[in-house]
C-alpha cells in the first residue's frame, strides 16, 4: 500500500477519533440498498461527513485502493 493512501486514511482516522464519530451508524444510514456495501456516491458522502475538506480525487483514490486490495486492516 502506498504512502498517499496511508496518509489519507490516517487523517480520516484522526478526524473520526477526535470527533468521536460512530462509523457503523453513519454506514447504516448511507447503505440505502441494505447490501452492506457502498458505491462511490454513498462512500463520497460518508467521507465528506468525516472530513469536509477532503478533495473528491482523494475520495476516489481511497475508494479505488480499498476495493482493489484484499488487505482491509487499516
In a domain, 73, yes or no: no
Number of domains in the chain: 1
Q: Cell numbers of 5, please? A: 493512501
Distance CA 61, CA 58 (A): 5
Distance CA 74, CA 57 (A): 20
13: containing domain: 3-67
| CA nearest to 63, candidates 33, 36, 43, 35 | 43
Cα radius of gyration rounded to whole Å, the chain = 12
Sign (positive or negative) of CA dihedral 24, 55, 12, 74: positive
In a domain, 74, yes or no: no
Q: Is the pLDDT of residue 72 over 60?
A: no
Interval 16-68: pLDDT, tens = 899 898 888 888 888 888 888 888 998 898 888 888 888 999 999 889 887 65
Amino acid at each position: 500500500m502506498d504512502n498517499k493512501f496511508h496518509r489519507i486514511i490516517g487523517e480520516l482516522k484522526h478526524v473520526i477519533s477526535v470527533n468521536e464519530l460512530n462509523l457503523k451508524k453513519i454506514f447504516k444510514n448511507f447503505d440505502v440498498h441494505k447490501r452492506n456495501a457502498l458505491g462511490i456516491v454513498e462512500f463520497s458522502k460518508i467521507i465528506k461527513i468525516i472530513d469536509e475538506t477532503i478533495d473528491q480525487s482523494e475520495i476516489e483514490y481511497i475508494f479505488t485502493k480499498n476495493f482493489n486490495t484484499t488487505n482491509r486492516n487499516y
